[in-house]
Amino acid sequence: MAELYAAGVRCFVVSEDVNPQVYPGATIIQVADTLDALQLLATHHRSQFDLPVIGITGSNGKTIVKEWLYQLLHESYRIVRSPRSYNSQMGVPLSVWQIGEEHQLGIFEAGISRVGEMKKLAPIIRCSLGVFTNIGEAHSEGFASIEEKLVQKLDLFSIRRGRRVLPG
């Protein structure tokens, strides 16, 4: 935190005790879990925008499919999408945080490596259309079986907010 403060950062969300007198002019918010706080904030941010979102999951191929869809659609829609392969518990909230009033369509990847993670990512992305690339052995260490992994990945598509079609 000291290095960030020295670089000019003045807003912090932390999970440990911090003496605010050491960081004059800084806003310091202490939470029990910083990742949970980031995910909650991103979920709220996403709720502020009513735009169709394509959610992409699968054992591999997510980034290629996302970029392919972007190339197909970017001339017709102002698109916000996951940068690079930001599809993790931290990457998804950072990706969704980019949504702005100017966007007409979102394309976000969601990757998981253990049970329960997609239930945290689904309300952040809140996809209206889903793409499941495939199911395979990649990142299977956190799952008892390929069937369990499949069921967990399908949780991305369990949060629906009505039917939407692409604008235009």
pLDDT digits (tens, 9 = 90+) for 60-80: 999 999 999 999 999 999 999
Contacts of 12 (CB under 8 A, 6+ apart): 1, 4, 18, 23, 26, 27, 28, 29
Chain segment 147-161, per-residue pLDDT in tens: 999 999 999 998 554
Which class does domain 35-157 fall in?
alpha beta
CATH 3.40.1190.10 in the chain is located at 35-157
Q: How far is CA 19 from CA 23, 27, 30, 33, 51, in A?
A: 8, 11, 11, 18, 41
Q: What is the largest CA-CA distance in the chain?
A: 53
Six token digits for residue 19: 């003496």
What global pTM score does this model have? Answer: 0.86
